């Protein structure tokens, strides 16, 4: 009797393995869902939809982009981590949910390193340091000189405590041994409005929010926090080039999937994403949005995030900004 039960278990196991192998071989045989942690029209949403259109051609399947904003991106990214591991749900995520938030959010519902598998970076763009016209500062050195002369008297706008906008400005303050007060806003439009009104004196924001206002003379664009000048912003000096400090800070996004998804399926999806990001048309569209397409291997993306963790964890912990 025991031998019969054991035999049945072996047969069942072989059958299940066969079913899994067949499913992997046929993948994808129906539509996929791409979860985005911010609303329609946001930078991650635009990137997701541009790439999804090309990937759907590569896979010959529809990809439904689903916006799930909230909790600094944790809701959508956590849903990807906990999704059924069949390869039909994946996500586009950003700095916060993949790096910063594990050091900020208590009891995060997922572990970015264990529960998510990196597929490829999608795009990067430098954070741009800008000053209100009310400061009179037209260079980063002039802004830093003002900060040194007025310790703690200047305000800077952020798009939320613990955001890339907030952390970039804090990194600059630490590097220049200056002080200023962080003022959080709901998003870039509100932060920019505060800059234009002179309610805050400076900010670190993504290019799309400030470059055109700089060209119109409504804000002073001081520097880009990147290792080298972005191809889309050749006239904006890097922070290092100003001689004030040597800091880097990028806004980036990339594609991830549940780490429980079989490696064969992950490899198929990664190749389709990689090939889409390599297309000149996609790269051109990204550059028009002040972004650079960065197709990468999972190993490269993983190494990139590890470097990000090493850079930002000490700063975040020094700021003591943990949230529930």
Q: Please state, in angstroms and rounded to a whole number, the distance separating the CA atoms of residues 202 and 179.
A: 12
The class level of CATH for 128-242 reads alpha beta
The lowest-confidence range among 13-27, 46-60, 299-313 is: 13-27
Following DSSP, what letter does each residue of 180-199 receive, concatenated? -EEEE-SSHHHHHHHHHHTS
Please indicate whether the domains covering 32-125+251-319 and 128-242 agree at the CATH topology level: yes
Under 8 Å CB-to-CB from 55, ≥6 apart: which residues? 63, 269, 272, 273, 276
What is the distance, to the nearest Å, from the Cα of residue 190 to the centroid of all Cα atoms in its chain?
20
Q: Which fold has domain 32-125+251-319?
A: D-Maltodextrin-Binding Protein; domain 2 (3.40.190)
Q: By three-state DSSP, how is residue 258 classified? A: strand
Q: Taking the domains of the chain in order of start, what are their residue ranges?
A: 32-125+251-319, 128-242
- pTM equals 0.90
Of the pLDDT bands very low, low, confident and very high (cuts 50, 70, 90), residue 322 is confident
CB 44 within 8 A of CB 99: no
State pLDDT tens for residues 46-105: 999 999 999 999 999 999 999 999 999 999 999 999 999 999 999 999 999 999 999 999
């Amino acid at each position: 009797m025991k031998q019969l039960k054991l035999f049945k278990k072996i047969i069942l196991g072989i059958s299940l393995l066969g079913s899994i192998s067949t499913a992997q071989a046929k993948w994808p045989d129906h539509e996929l869902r791409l979860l985005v942690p911010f609303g329609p029209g946001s930078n991650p949403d635009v990137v997701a939809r541009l790439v999804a259109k090309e990937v759907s051609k590569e896979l010959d399947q529809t990809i439904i982009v689903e916006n799930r904003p909230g909790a600094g991106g944790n809701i959508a990214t956590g849903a990807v981590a906990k999704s059924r591991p069949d390869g039909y749900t994946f996500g586009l995520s950003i700095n916060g949910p993949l790096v910063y938030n594990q050091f900020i959010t208590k009891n995060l519902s997922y572990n970015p390193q264990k529960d998510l598998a990196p597929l490829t970076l999608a795009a990067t763009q430098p954070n741009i340091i800008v000053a209100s016209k009310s400061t009179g500062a037209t260079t980063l050195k002039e802004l830093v000189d003002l900060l040194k002369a007025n310790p703690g008297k200047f305000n800077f706008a952020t798009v939320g405590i613990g955001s890339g906008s907030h952390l970039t400005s804090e990194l600059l303050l630490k590097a220049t041994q200056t002080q200023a007060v962080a003022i959080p806003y709901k998003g870039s439009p509100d932060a920019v409005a505060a800059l234009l009104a002179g309610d805050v004196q400076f900010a670190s924001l993504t290019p799309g929010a400030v470059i055109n206002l700089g060209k119109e003379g409504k804000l002073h664009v001081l520097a880009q926090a990147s290792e080298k000048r972005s191809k889309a912003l050749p006239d904006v000096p890097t922070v290092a080039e100003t001689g004030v400090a040597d800091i880097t800070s990028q806004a980036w996004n990339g594609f991830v999937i549940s780490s429980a998804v079989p490696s064969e399926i992950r490899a198929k999806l990664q190749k389709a994403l990689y090939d889409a990001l390599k297309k000149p048309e996609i790269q051109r569209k990204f550059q028009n949005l002040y972004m650079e397409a960065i197709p990468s291997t999972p190993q490269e993306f993983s190494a990139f995030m590890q470097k990000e963790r090493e850079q930002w964890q000490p700063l975040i912990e020094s700021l003591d900004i943990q949230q529930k």
